[in-house]
Structure 1
Amino acid sequence: MKIVKKIGSMLCALGFVGAAQAENITVIHAGQLLDEPGKPPKEAHSIIIRDGLIDQVLPTASFSEQSLGVADGDILEIHNLEDKFVLPGLIDGHVHLTSELNPQGRLQTVQMSDADRAMMGALHAKRTLMAGFTTVRDVGAGTGDAIFALRDATANGWVSGPRIFASGATISVTGGHGDGTQGYRDDIAHMFKASGNSGTCDGVESCRRAVREQVRRGADHIKLTATGGVLSNTAAGTEVQFFEDELKAIMDTAHSMGRKVTAHAHGKNGIDAALEAGVDSIEHGTYLDPESVRLFRRSGAYLVPTLLAGQTVVEIAESPNSFLTPPQRKKSLQVGPQMIEMARTAHDGGVKIAFGTDSGVSRHGDNAREFELLVKAGMTPAEAVYSATVAGADNLGMSDSLGTLRPGKLGDLIAVDGNPLQDISVLLDVEFVMKEGVLYKE
């Protein structure tokens, strides 16, 4: 149940009187509240949000409207979720909002404009938000500006979607995973690179320039492909593709400009090389081994396992109507089945794990399926929730604003019918979504 009150006269409510002091105040009464994942939930607690930021968390029994100090012109919303389990908005650390794997994907690369990509991204963004993910990290969206436009549109409230941290173009070697020109005619490939926004680089100076170019374009972080990948249309394997000096140039340049770096990496040598070079997180990590685990722990880097992507590519590759090219199909059947045990090895070894799905390979809006796979890989439901809240915020460098429901942080929260710490599958059906105190789903 929602109660909305506009306090004061009609002129006050319209903002003509006392506009400078007017506040939007939101109150959530939660039956169970997981305000700090990693700790036990609280019974019958309330959250007070003022102008998008959490102001108080207190027992519902001690709440009173009079204590809010509501003034003329303020708008007060009260949401009764006393039969629900409330927790922080979820964070997906690996998505590709402006695309989704489909039989026409390669054709769409040359058919769709940046504007088309932005419109498609808006659809995917809304589906993601409705699934309970109030923040995402987009890790590579071609060479155009669609993802930056979508990021800014969601921030301005023009489009309903999660908060987006975007990398722009992926830093890749020529012909490597992330160079999206494989299999196209040379003139078409040249057209892709002629925009000047390509992240393709070869050699130390070129790689420094590619990183700086993404920062100039507005990248919030830097994504590189340290190894080959599954869905690149080339039989180049899944091992290391950058040289050591190139990797170090990428890390040093990004860090000097205040950007974190994450590396797509499947093969062990590529994983270890990226960790040695100072990467902040590894995406996928398929063939990590005990030595890799030691490097993770020594560096403090996060692993983002993307188990749902592994399951998805196997399902597509095994389909009699598979639309994958021969190199893609072969790599899917090699890599996908390894990923659950990889996550188990990392978890058992004490590697820090942040939630990420690679949605865009899997369907946008199905992000919560990753939770069940993480639990299958040995995480407890509580650990899986932690990976998508506290750990997800830390991986983004946003622990001061996201991940928990504490005073001073952004008012991002969701509610479900059931306790996800006992049954992780309840997160597949999020019933209530709020971002910065704005209600998007109830």
Structure 2
Amino acid sequence: MCQFHGGGTSVPSPDRLGRRALLVGAGGSVAALALSAVAQAAPRALGRTWALVGATVIDSVRSSPLVDATVLVHGNRLARVGRRRDVVLPPGTTVIDGHGKYVIPGLVDMHHHLGGTSLEERAANLRQLLAFGYTTIFDPAVSLPDLVALKGFAESVDAPYPRYFGTGPMLGTPGGWGDFGTPETRVVPSSSAAASIVAEFAAHGADAIKVANDNVLWGGGSAAEMPEDVQVAIVAAARRHRLRVFFHAPSLRLATQALRAGARGLLHGIVDAPLDRSFLRLLRRSDASALETFSLFETLGDVVSYVGRQQAFDRLGLYPSSVYDALRSPEAIAAIEAFVDPSVVAKHLPMLRANSRRLFSSGANATFGSDGGTFSQALGVSSHLELAVHESAGLRPHEILRGATLGAARMLGRGYERGSLAPGKLADLVVLNANPLQSIANLHFVDQVAKDGRLFRARDLLA
């Protein structure tokens, strides 16, 4: 089995998130390997029309799997999805045997920072995520130059990159969460400053705006909160550019405040109080989405345990044990303890898990992100484990698949063109060697990935 290395396995310092510290753990040496570990894999030469025949299709909108199915692709779009006996293949179609395979829509990690200490490492990490079935990545805190460059890498039709969406820098308030003075963060000093900042981000191709307002978990009650008039001004400015605003606001009070200001998304989950009926009604009435990042909290709460779970989950042995050892090293532990109090984070985990079940049973749109590229996460493995942890918290595999595909597409405002396997939608899909409805952990066994109708073998991406 080939060994798989990636910059996302480094232990990024709090400096990457706005706190002064040194890069520790797996560090730059592992990140540097990312550039040589993944070949510039070319898509399979299939012609303009191709079909996967005989597979089981598991779609985000179907109530049951479609057995012995045909998925017909023409150009970059899905042309037909149906039972094999019902789909007539056009002359010249390239046929791929799908017997014993399972087809799902392309996965989306809706909260991934890519890691690395340079643009080259971030680009390599983005490329590697395609091998894990992630055809779309959303980055909610990225410098404007990196945003432009990474979008450029991903836009090339045949390039082995997921689609890349980002916000530009995270917007914070003076003395609050986000006031870090890094290229990935920007302070909004007043409501009058919001319009020019949002316009700048829009001019650089931002796909959404991220606002940080947190005085529960991270600041320990001492961080300044963003004034409500500033929140409202940011949302109003974003609407003028047809951009959605997503809030990092993991408390019930601040999340409610964000929704009343016009937020279209909430990041991380609610950690301090139960989701009550009034909040869930407001969430649905706002047509807003909620995104959960269990992996981040699990890592910060007990890094040794969660790295062990990542290693156990990595049944293909994609990373050598030395990488996992680095991710739970004393240096890695020290970096986290310099950033948060792990015991405080761990105290919030039961509420986070309970709220997840309330959220998904409410009918609100929900999705997932790993917060990958931050503390002690193995690139790709942590994205899959994020979904598996939700299964262990009580969600059903089909709920999870829907959230990781169509739920994410809807949060981005692009449910009309992605997130399910319907004719006319973009041909982003994943071919698995095991049934994810038996266990969501079977997402680990990726055989092939199609992005924009270009089909890649996972082994080529990892070669």
TM-score (norm 2): 0.76
Q: Structure 1 pair 240/278, CA: closer, same or farther in 2 (3 Å)?
A: farther
Q: 1:334 to 1:178 in 2, by over 3 A?
A: farther
- CA displacement at 1:354 relative to structure 2: 1.3
- By how many angstroms is 1:279 displaced? 0.4
* Identity, % of aligned positions: 25
Q: Which residue of 1 aligns with 2:394?
A: 378
Cα distance, 1:198–1:63 mapped onto 2, change above 3 Å: closer
Q: State the match for 1:210 in structure 2.
A: 197
Task: Find the aligned partners of 2:127 and 2:341 in 1 and give their Cα distance.
Answer: 30
1:9-58: CA deviation from partner (whole Å, max 9, x where unpaired): xxxxxxxxxxxxxx611211142112443421111111111111111223
State the partner residue of 1:346.
359
d(CA) in 2 for partners of 1:317 and 1:294? 38
Q: In the aligned structure 2, how far is the partner of 1:94 from the partner of 1:301?
A: 16
TM superposition shift of 1:198: 5.3
Indicate which of 327, 334, 338 corresponds to 1:326: 338
What are the Cα deviations for residues 367-419 of structure 1, in whole angstroms up to 9, with x where unaligned? 11111122223221111111011211111111121011111111111122232
Out of 432, 442, 448, the residue aligned to residue 426 of structure 1 is 442
Offset of residue 280 of structure 1:
0.5
**Aligned match for 2:112, one of 71, 85, 95:** 95
Consecutive aligned runs of 4 or more in structure 1 exceeding 6 Å deviation: 317-320
SS in 1 for 2:388: helix
2:81 equivalent in structure 1: 57
Cross-structure match for 2:293: 306
Partners of 2:165 and 2:54 in 1: CA distance = 29
User: Aligned with 2:368: secondary structure?
Assistant: coil
Say which SS state the counterpart of residue 137 (structure 1) adopts: strand
Query: Displacement, 1:178?
Result: 2.2
Which secondary structure state, in structure 1, belongs to the residue aligned with residue 147 of structure 2?
helix
Q: Flag structure 1 segments of 5+ consecutive residues without an equivalent.
A: 7-22, 71-75, 101-111, 182-191
Does 340-349 or 168-177 show the bigger shift?
Answer: 340-349
The equivalent residue for 2:213 is: 226
Gaps of 5+ in 2: 1-43, 306-327, 459-463
Report if aligned partners of 1:57, 1:407 keep a CA contact under 8 Å in 2: yes
Three-state SS of the structure 2 residue aligned to 1:95 is coil
For the structure 1 residues 176 and 77, does the alpha-carbon distance in structure 2 shift closer, same or farther, using more than 3 Å as the test? Answer: farther
| Higher-Rg member (1/2) | 1
Aligned AA (2:400): A
Q: Cα 1:121–1:159, aligned 2, differ >3 Å: closer, same or farther?
A: farther
Q: CA deviation at 1:237?
A: 3.7
Query: Is the contact between residue 52 and residue 70 of structure 2 (CA under 8 Å) also seen in structure 1?
Result: yes
Query: 2:428 corresponds to which residue?
Result: 412
How far 1:239 sits from its partner (Å)?
Answer: 7.5
CA 1:257–1:80: 2 relative to 1, 3 Å: same
CA drift of 1:314 comes to 1.6
Shift of 1:352: 2.4
Does the alignment pair 1:368 with 2:384?
yes
- The answer for the alignment partner of 2:170 in structure 1 is 170
Alpha-carbon distance, 1:179 to partner: 2.7
Query: Structure 1 residues 334, 120: CA separation in 2 closer, same or farther (over 3 Å shift)?
Result: farther
Is residue 389 from structure 1 mapped to residue 405 from structure 2 by the alignment?
Answer: yes
Secondary structure of the structure 1 residue equivalent to 2:441: helix
Q: Would you say the 8 A contact 1:53–1:407 is kept in 2?
A: yes
Provide the C-alpha distance between the structure 2 equivalents of 1:422 and 1:298, rounded to a whole number of angstroms: 34
SS, match of residue 95 in structure 2: strand
What's the C-alpha RMSD, in Å, of the aligned pairs?
2.6
Change in 2 beyond 3 A, CA 1:139/1:60: same
CA apart distance, 1:433:
0.9
The number of residues matched between the two structures is 383
SS in 2 for 1:379: coil
Secondary structure (helix, strand or coil) at the match of 2:79 reads strand
Contact 1:30–1:86 under 8 Å retained in 2? no
Q: Which amino acid aligns with 1:154?
A: A
Question: Aligned partners of 2:125, 2:450: CA distance in 1, in Å?
Answer: 18
* Relative contact order, higher structure (CA 8 A, sep 6+): 2
Q: What residue number does 1:267 align with?
A: 251
Q: Within 2, Cα distance between the matches of 1:62 and 1:270?
A: 52
What are the within-5 Å matches in structure 2 for residues 117-136 of structure 1? 118-136=119-137
